[in-house]
Amino acid sequence: MFQVIPAVDIQQGRAVRLFEGDPKRETVYFDEPLQAARHWIGHGAELLHLVDLDAALGKGDNSRLVEQIAGLGVATELGGGIRSAAAARRWLEHVSRVILGTAAVTQPELTVQLLEEFGPERVVVSLDARDGLVAIKGWTETSSVDAFELAGQLADQGLRTLIYTDVTRDGTMLGVNAEPVERMRAAFPHELLAGGGVASDADLDLYASLGLDGAIVGRALYEGKVTYPRTA
């Protein structure tokens, strides 16, 4: 069944959404991220997508808040600044699964190590791309790595859950750009989640029609532009 996963992005202690990943272009939806988490759990969320934006940007972290949300009893996945085996191990004591972003590009051996140590149920990779190239370091840099080629390599290495985000659409509510999503679906044969640009139920229907397993939704969900919980 296609799942809609609420995103709780944390910056400077608040639940926010960024426009195209720009930390200076934020919209604050909850002053307390714990309130955001409880809100979505109250609406039936079974999994929360947490991102520590400060950790991703190397400007501190929101560990206490993440731990509080993880303690609410719902499944959680966490991304943002997890760039070592030690960090992953620490967080896997609290969250259901960790999300590797930059590290999947700059330290490919780390993904393999964590998959072997914890299994594919607890390790996710997020490929966030601009024009097909993976963005890294909190999306502040664009690498020369082809997102679709890397997706195929990760599948060969044992990865079973991949998140694809179109950085140029993220937080914009401009609608989903289908072409790169189709390419990613072709490149990665396992569980595929996507985000970036969702503006309406039609975008969720598009994802589902392309064979995706779910969508990570932020701004459109917070602003009531999509139906939640989704029943089909």
Residue ranges per structural domain of the chain: 3-222
Each residue's pLDDT tens digit, 48-94 = 999 999 998 899 999 999 999 999 999 999 999 999 999 999 999 99
- The per-residue pLDDT of the chain, averaged, comes to 93
pLDDT at residue 230 in the model = 83
137: phi > 0 → left, psi -120 to 50 → alpha, else beta; which?
Answer: left
How many angstroms separate the CA atoms of 131 and 23, rounded?
20
List 9, 166, 170, 203, catalytic entry:
9
The dihedral formed by the CA atoms of 23, 29, 33 and 37, expressed in degrees to the nearest 10: -130
pLDDT, one tens digit per residue, over 136-168 is: 887 788 899 999 999 999 999 999 999 999 888
Q: Which amino acid is at 219?
A: R
| 3-222: in CATH 3.20.20.70 | yes
Of 52, 54, 128, 170, catalytic:
128
205 catalytically annotated: no
Say what percent of the chain tops pLDDT 90: 81
pLDDT tens digits, residue range 114-131? 999 999 999 999 999 998
61 labelled catalytic: no
Angle at which helix 147-156 crosses helix 178-187, to 10 degrees, equals 30
Q: What is the pLDDT of residue 12?
A: 94
* Tally of residues, the chain: 232
Q: Is the overall model pTM greater than 0.85, yes or no?
A: yes
Classified as helix, coil or strand, 207 is: helix
On whether the CB atoms of residues 43 and 62 are closer than 8 A, the answer is no
Of 141, 51, 62, nearest to 105 by C-alpha is 141
Question: Can you give the pLDDT at residue 25?
Answer: 84
Q: Strands 3-11 and 214-217, how do they pair?
A: parallel
